[in-house]
Amino acid sequence: MQIVIDRQSKVPLYRQIVDRVRELILSGALPEGFRLPPERRLAEALGINRSTVLTAYRELKGQGLVDSHVGRGTSVRAPAAPAASDGGTTGLPWRQLFCERALRVQEPVVRDLLELTERRDVISLAVGLPAPELLPLELLREIFVRLVEDVGPPMLLHCPTEGHTPLRETLSRWLATRGMRCSPAEVLVLSGSQQGLDLVVRALVDPGDVVVVEEPTYVGMLPVLRGAQARVVGVPVDEDGMRTDLLATVLEHQRPKLIYTLPTFQNPSGAEMALRRRRELLELAARHRVPVLEDDPYSELRYDGSPVPSLKALDRNGQVIYLSTVSKLLFPGLRLGLLVAPRPVVRQLALLKQGSDLHASSVGQLLLDRFLSDGHYEPYLRRLRVAYSQRRDAMDAALEAGKAMGVRWKRPRGGFYYWCRLPDGVERSRLLAAASDVGVAFLPGEACFFEPPEQAYLRLNFSYPSPTQIRDGVGRLLEAVRRSIRVEHRPPAEAVGMPPVV
C-alpha cells in the first residue's frame, strides 16, 4: 500500500491518508480483507504522529470502507450487500454513490459513543443533555392544554420561516434583558442551534475559504465545516478564552470568511473569555472586516462569578451573528434555537432555511412563547443553577482521585462540562476499549479538534448523570485511564486510591 503525503499541502495530513486509502479501496487495488498497516507502523513509515493515522482510520471506518477490532487491526470491508434499506430492489452500491461532500461529514467517534451510551450498564458522561428529571414536564403539559383550548387547530398549521411573530417579539425583549438590543426582525427562530451553524456556513463559506475556530471547539461544528470544504484554522483557547494574540497573527496572514467562537463556558473546555479578550476579538474582527459567529448555549448556566457581556452585547458594528438554543435549558427534543443578526443576514438565512425545513415547529414555538411570557423562566433557571452546580461539585470531588495519576482539569464556572488533560502514556484506542469494559462513556478530546492534538484530553458532562452516577462514572473512568496507561508509565492501583471496578 503506497501512500505519499505532501507536507506543504493545505489538506490536513489525516485527510490525505483518508483520500489515498479510499481511492485504493474503491479502485479495487486493496481487496476485501486486506489488512491496513498497524497505526504505529504507518505513522513511523510516514514520519507523522500516530494520532493522525488513528484519526484517518476512524474516518475510513465511518465511511464504511474498513472495519477495525481491538487486537485484530484494521482491514478493508466487504462492499455492502444490497439490503432492502440500501435500495435492495435496484441493488445500487449506495456508499459508492455518495458524493465526496457527503462522505466528508462522517463522525465515527460520536456515532460509536452514542451507541455506547444506549447500553444500560454504561454510565454516560458523554452527551451534553439536560437532566431529564429536572425538566418542567407538568408545566409544559398545562401550557399545551391551554394552547389547545385558546388557539385550537391553527397551532398546528405553518408559521413564517423566520418564526412565530409573537415569539420573535418575546425573544427580542428577553435578549434586551441580557444587553442585546435588537428588533424582532433581527431574530430568526431555528430548528435547534445546530441548524444555525449549518445555515451560517452555507451562507458565508465557499469551498477553500478559511474559517477560524477555537482549539478545541464544538464537536458538532467540525462536520459542518468539513462538508463545506472549508480550510479550518485553529486558534488555541486558554482559561481566558480564545488567544487573541494568536488570532491577530492569523488575521494578518489569512483572510477568513468567519470567526467561530464560544466565549462563555466553552464547549468543551468550559473556558470563559475574559472581557478584555472579548473587546480585543471584536476590535480585530472590525479591523479585518470578518464576521463573528458567537455560539452561546451555556451563558445562562452560571454557577460562580458575575455575568460577562456577550460579544453581541458589546458589538457596535453589527458584525456579530449570535446563536443560542433552548436545548440546554428546556427540552432538546423541541428542536428550537435562535439567531440574532442584522436584517440582511436574517433574510438570507431564512431563504436558505426555507429550502431545508420551511420553519421550526409551530407547536414548540407557541409553547416556548407562553413559557417565557408567563414568567416561568427565571424561577426555573434558578432551580437549574442550584442543581447543576451541585453536580459540578460532585464531579470535582470525584476527579480528585485522578490527580495522583496526572489527570488535570479546571473547575468550570458554568456550563455542562469538565475538560480533563490525561497523563502522558495514555493509549487513546485502549482507553475507549477499557471504558467500554468498565461501563462508562465520555467524549474523547480529539473529536473536538480539526487536527488531532498531541496531548490526550476528554470531555465529561455533569448535567445529565445524577450525583451518584457522577461518582460511580468518574470512578470507572479513572480505572479505565489507569488501565490504558502504557505499562512503563502506570502507577499501581493502591497509589491512586482506586477501588477495583469489575
Ligand X SMILES: Cc1ncc(COP(=O)(O)O)c(C=O)c1O
Which stretches of the chain bind ligand X, using CB under 6 A?
A: 128, 192-194, 218, 220, 262, 267, 295, 297, 325, 327, 332, 337
Is the separation of the CB atoms in 38 and 73 below 8 Å?
A: yes
Name the residue nearer to ligand X (CB basis): 360 or 399.
360
Name the residue nearer to ligand X (CB basis): 297 or 444.
297
Name the residue nearer to ligand X (CB basis): 293 or 399.
293
Name the residue nearer to ligand X (CB basis): 250 or 326.
326
DSSP assignment of 472-491 equals HHHHHHHHHHHHHB-GGGPP
Name the residue nearer to ligand X (CB basis): 291 or 439.
291
Give the separation between CA 315 and CA 284, rounded to whole angstroms: 12
Is the separation of the CB atoms in 287 and 398 below 8 Å?
A: no
26 φ, ψ (degrees, to nearest 5): -70, -30
Is the separation of the CB atoms in 439 and 403 below 8 Å?
A: no
Which residue's beta carbon is nearest to the bound ligand X? 192
Closest CA to 422 of 449, 454, 447, 376: 454
Smallest separation, CB 141 to ligand X (Å): 22
Name the residue nearer to ligand X (CB basis): 337 or 423.
337
Name the residue nearer to ligand X (CB basis): 128 or 423.
128
Closest CA to 80 of 101, 66, 70: 66
In total, the chain counts a number of residues equal to 502
Name the residue nearer to ligand X (CB basis): 43 or 211.
211
Name the residue nearer to ligand X (CB basis): 218 or 442.
218
Residue 83, classed as helix, strand or coil, is coil
- The secondary structure element, H or E, covering residue 22 is helix 13-26
Integer angstrom CA distances of residue 345 from 133, 187, 293, 311: 38, 10, 12, 17
Residue 237, classed as helix, strand or coil, is strand
CB-based contacts of 459: which residues, under 8 Å, 6+ apart? 126, 267, 268, 417, 418, 419, 420, 442, 443, 445, 448
What are the grid coordinates assigned to 346, written together? 436574517
Helix ranges restricted to H, 301-453: 311-314, 343-357, 362-373, 377-399, 428-438
Name the residue nearer to ligand X (CB basis): 16 or 267.
267
Give the separation between CA 53 and CA 48, rounded to whole angstroms: 8
Closest CA to 450 of 210, 255, 222: 222
Smallest separation, CB 329 to ligand X (Å): 10
Name the residue nearer to ligand X (CB basis): 55 or 194.
194
CA 304 to chain centre: 24
What are the grid coordinates assigned to 182, written together? 435588537
Is the separation of the CB atoms in 36 and 18 below 8 Å?
A: no
Could you give the angle at the alpha carbon of 258 between the alpha carbons of 252 and 262, nearest 5°?
Answer: 105
Give the separation between CA 79 and CA 94, rounded to whole angstroms: 10
- The secondary structure element, H or E, covering residue 295 is strand 292-295
Smallest separation, CB 468 to ligand X (Å): 24
Name the residue nearer to ligand X (CB basis): 327 or 361.
327
Smallest separation, CB 28 to ligand X (Å): 40
Give the separation between CA 247 and CA 373, rounded to whole angstroms: 40
Name the residue nearer to ligand X (CB basis): 192 or 452.
192
**Burial profile 477-486: b = 16 or more Cβ within 10 angstroms, e = fewer:** bbbbbbbbbe
Cα within 13 Å of Cα(224), Cβ side: 22
Given the C-alpha cell 471584536, which residue does it identify?
282
